[in-house]
Homo-oligomer: A and B are copies of this chain.
């Protein structure tokens, strides 16, 4: 008997997140090709900004599911403060970009 798959806050839109990430991967490959072909720098930068925006959306999607879960269950699980601290650290990293 195997352990049950944990239900993460983002399970609902998992397919959507995976689709976005696959697209982001294709975009990174595209940038690699642009640089390999010595394409104009400004055009490459525009593409990088587009990937950053896509990754921001994935991050916000994950964070949304997580926050929702924490607000529903945090008090009941007695982990409200722990969850808030952990989430704020993640938000801080996203704002500073790593």
Contacts and interface: CB of A to CB of B under 8 A. Distances in A.
Interface of A: 5-11, 14, 17-18, 21-22, 24-25, 28-29, 31-32, 35-36, 38-42, 44-46, 48-56, 58-60, 62-68, 70-76, 80-81, 83-88, 90-98
| Secondary structure dominating the interface of A | helix
Given A32-B21, A98-B49, A38 B64 contact: no
Contacts of A59: 45, 48-49
B80 A50 contact: no
14 contacts: A18-B32, A22-B32, A42-B86, A48-B59, A52-B55, A53-B97, A53-B98, A55-B55, A68-B81, A68-B84, A72-B75, A72-B81, A73-B75, A74-B74
